[in-house]
A = this chain, B = another copy of it.
Amino acid sequence: MSAAHQSDASATETPAGIVQGDLQDQKIAGYQSLLGVTPIQSVTLPGLQTQSGFKFDQVVVSYQTLGRLSPRRDNAILVGHALSGNAHVAGLHPDTGRPGWWDYHVGPGKAIDTDKFFVICSNVLGGCDGTTGPLSPRPDTGKPYGTDFPPVTVADMVAVQAKLIEHLGISRLLAVVGGSMGGMQALSWAVQFPERVRVCIPIATCASHSAMQIAFNEIGRRAIITDPNWNGGNYTPDCRPTHGLAVARMVGHVTYLSEYAMTRKFGRSLQPRVPAAADEAALFAVESYLHHQGESFVRRFDPNSYLYLTKALDQFDLFDGQPPEEVLSRLKARFLVISFASDWLYPPAQSQALVRWLKRCRVAATYINLETLYGHDSFLIENPEFAQVVRHYLDHELRSADTAKEAPAAG
């Protein structure tokens, strides 16, 4: 462990190792994806009105599909990405060669098996990796929306995903799966489109953010908007609030890891000194790691997008002020709810509260709290037990779908 670290503070461990966040932030020497290079597509879809009342005439969506849609169009799985994710869910990126953020769990023979399922993943509305967001040009001025972009909600993200699914000719999804913000999308799908979701798999998520979850997000936002380069959201590409965004990412990173994971990876080991910097104070390895995480993140993420997406997370409320019974009685999907014992940012108690409500409303729900030691990021890392749970559940759904020979439900 320490040897790998000493050679390059930014290097992650081998894929068998742990503690990295998304794969896409990492350099993984010699990493091979079973999918090879996977293309990312883009489509312009008819517009929509956001929950806040803003009308988009059209929306551009960046997405990726893997595997083949079955003749009955009943094997589609939509994957929702987390805050820092994008459409590139698995395989190697055509430009960068980096693996997609969920390459450990999406691919031939993997938990979400692309030999069996047609997997779809799209960048969310308000994101910054190909889908319409604050970086997109305003139709009237041609300049980026910046903070003129309307507030975005998880329901808005899901509404755009629904348009993409229609565009792909799919009337009903076999499953909607996602962790963290992706889990909120899965939950929102089950509520907004009960007829179009067979299985909902929310992972390491919650029905609404607690004060502590809001607080950590607000620290990140505050770091961004008090960076003078933020300039009310009207920054230029060569003068972005990168310091603020890096601090925000550092906060995120620490909250995604467990005490155990950090101790195992770093402990109190010191970063070896570079001779040229011999006059500087010794850095702990964990400090150097966080700096790298912050710096690599700012190269690929838009600060305004970070503000919009974290606000969407904080304002997400599955029940939206209604009695949970009323909301949940409309559901048709079956649920597999997964949490991780060491996840202190989205603690198991939140998943358990959700499952209690589902059970109370007679919604079919399986719940598992995995003893994985690596915190909130446990769904992003190589994790055989997690993979086994998801694989088994999906295979069972596929078999029962085959047995029932269901006709596709009306969209």
Task: Please list the residues of chain A having a beta carbon within 8 angstroms of any beta carbon in chain B.
Answer: 151, 208-212, 214-216, 218-219, 222-223, 226-228, 243-244, 246-247, 250-251, 254, 257, 259, 262-263, 265-268, 281, 284-287, 290-291, 294, 311, 314, 317, 344, 347
Q: Are B347 and A259 in contact (CB under 8 A)?
A: yes
Sample (18) of A-B pairs whose CB atoms are under 8 Å apart: A209-B268, A210-B262, A211-B262, A212-B259, A214-B268, A214-B286, A214-B287, A215-B286, A215-B287, A216-B254, A219-B290, A222-B290, A222-B291, A223-B247, A226-B227, A226-B247, A281-B311, A284-B314
Q: Do the beta carbons of A286 and B254 come within 8 Å of each other?
A: no
Query: In the complex, which residues of chain B have a beta carbon less than 8 angstroms from the beta carbon of A247?
Result: 219, 222-223, 226, 247
In the complex, residue of chain B having the shortest beta-carbon distance to the beta carbon of A285: B211
Is A210's CB under 8 angstroms from B314's CB?
Answer: no
A227: chain B residues at CB < 8 Å are: 226, 243
CB-CB nearest 9 A-B residue pairs:
A226-B243, A211-B262, A211-B266, A211-B286, A218-B287, A215-B254, A219-B250, A212-B262, A223-B247
In the complex, chain B residues whose CB is within 8 Å of the CB of A151? 281
Note all chain B residues with C-beta closer than 8 A to A246: 222, 226
CB <8 Å contact, B286 and A218 = yes
B284 touching A214, Cβ below 8 Å: yes
| 4 extra interface residue pairs, beta carbon distance < 8 Å, beyond A210-B262, A218-B286, A222-B250 | A211-B268, A212-B257, A212-B263, A228-B228
Q: Report the bound CA distance from A291 to B219 in whole Å.
A: 9
State how many copies of this chain the complex holds: 2
Question: Chain B's nearest CB lies how many Å from the CB of A230?
Answer: 10
Among B211, B212, B254, point to the contact of A219 (Cβ < 8 A).
Answer: B254
In the bound complex, how far is the Cα of B359 from the Cα of A148, in angstroms?
63
Q: Which residues from chain B contact A250 at a C-beta distance below 8 Å?
A: 215, 218-219, 222
A243 CA to B208 CA in the complex, in Å? Answer: 29
Of chain B, the residue at the smallest CB distance from A344 is: B344
Residues of B within 8 A of A344 (CB): 344
Query: Which residue of B has the minimal Cβ distance to A375?
Result: B212
Select which of B211, B218, B281 is within 8 A of A263 by beta carbon: B211
Q: By CB atoms of chain B within 10 A, which of A216, A223, A227, A311 has the most?
A: A223
- Note all chain B residues with C-beta closer than 8 A to A251: 219, 251
Given contacts A219-B247, A247-B223, contact A208 B268 (CB under 8 A): yes
Closest Cβ–Cβ distance, residue A264 to chain B (whole Å): 9
Q: How far is the CB of A394 from chain B (nearest CB, A)?
A: 32
Given the complex, which residues of B lie within 8 Å of A284, measured CB to CB?
A: 211, 214, 218, 314
Q: How far is the CB of A276 from chain B (nearest CB, A)?
A: 18
Residues of B close to A317: CB separation below 8 A = 268
Question: Could you say which residues of chain B place their CB within 8 Å of the CB of A287?
Answer: 214-215, 218
Task: Decide yes or no: A259 and B223 within 8 Å by CB, A254-B216, A281-B151 being known contacts.
Answer: no
Min CB distance A5 to B, Å, is 12
- Distance (Å) between the CB of A124 and the closest chain B CB? 19
B-chain residues with CB within 8 Å of residue A226 when the two chains form the complex: 227, 243-244, 246-247
A344 to B254 CA separation, bound complex (whole angstroms): 13
